[in-house]
Structure 1
Amino acid sequence: MTFKLLEARKPPSDLIGRFSLIGATSWLIETAGVVLMAVLSLLVLSNATGRYFFNHPLPWTEEAVSILLVWIAAIGVVLAAGRGALVGCEIVTSRLRPRQGRALTRVISFVGALLMLTVAWYAWRYMNVFGRDTTPMLDIPKSWISGGLLAAGLGMAAAFLYRTFRPHDPSQFARETALEAQP
């Protein structure tokens, strides 16, 4: 199994001069991830500062941080799936002819989308059963936590369906990079 990070597709938000719905969506998701990471960092820093310098921790930060971590992970995995940067089983597809490899990749992407829709379905059911329970300190519904899993499942399903109809091509990344390098 190999993972070629350098061959991962360029982020749609980095393609200058091209506006597309996918690029705009990617930019919004990236921005949400950056904002959530900043909030997470501030909460952890504030709690540590209060605990060690003022002997007055913020007891509610653990709940907020756990919710933020779920959403940050959901955002990260959706972005990785959309860019074709998840670890793949190239040991099989690299031994096939190019056409067969692309066909197998499309089948795997479609099956992955079905699996992620199943995960989203169970996350939705879980939210309906336990979503109204609240966290002890902040009194936030626990559906905010399981909502991250639902968002990850739906986002990855959309990314895999996109990859089913427009498969990832590492050589396209090389062509785009070569075109940018030309004066």
Structure 2
Amino acid sequence: MRKLDLLISRAEEGLVGLLILSASLVLFANVIARYVFNDGFSWAEELVRYQIVWMVMLGASVAARQGIHIGVDILRRFTPPTIAKVIELLVHGISVGFCLFLVVYGVQLTEQTHRFGQLSSALQAPMWVIQLAIPVGGLLMGIRFAQHFFRTLLGREQSSAQLGQVG
């Protein structure tokens, strides 16, 4: 199970890195084409926009794994440990529920878009591929929040610094 977790973690981080790199290169090439050759790529901004959608959804999963999602922890800090644990379990449970919502409705949206055959305007790419980021990201985040839930339940939750380490 740890090897699968490590594989998913590496894939998430690698894909986010690849998306950042390729988006930067496409934007740089488009700027050069516009200002040096007076003719930009009509598809560049659209491609980068869709890359950002995927980056956000995959990056949210990385953030969930590392325990660095934004949160208000003042209540947890000033309550007894047992109540703090209940609060943490509640937060992780709500997070899993929200991710389940993203997966279910993301799949429905993606299926509907696939059925209609909707294409993006400049790239003429199938929109369902772009929208697939919602259920994929939701599933990955849900897995990460579920991991935190069970670690907290079993008393094995690590600090944010330890969660950030892969391997």
Q: TM-score, normalised by structure 2?
A: 0.86
| Contact in 1 for aligned 2:16/2:59 (Cα 8 Å) | yes
For 1:3-152, list aligned pairs within 5 A: 20-131=3-114, 132-152=117-137
Higher relative helix content:
2
- State which of 151, 158, 167 in structure 2 corresponds to 1:169: 158
- Within 2, Cα distance between the matches of 1:172 and 1:138? 41
Aligned amino acid, residue 159 of structure 2? P
Task: Look up the SS of the partner of 2:79 in the other structure.
Answer: coil
- Within 1, Cα distance between the matches of 2:5 and 2:35? 45
Query: Which runs of 5 or more residues in structure 2 are unaligned?
Result: none
Runs of 4+ off more than 4 Å:
none
- Within 2, Cα distance between the matches of 1:118 and 1:80? 19
| Contact in 1 for aligned 2:66/2:160 (Cα 8 Å) | no
CA shift at 1:161, angstroms? 0.6
CA shift at 1:103, angstroms? 2.2
The number of aligned residues is: 156
Query: Which runs of 5 or more residues in structure 1 are unaligned?
Result: 1-18, 177-183
Q: TM-score, normalised by structure 1?
A: 0.79
CA RMSD, Structure 1 to Structure 2 (Å): 1.9
| Contact in 1 for aligned 2:30/2:40 (Cα 8 Å) | yes
Name the CA shift for 1:77/1:171 in 2 (closer, same or farther; >3 Å).
closer
CA shift at 1:130, angstroms? 2.0
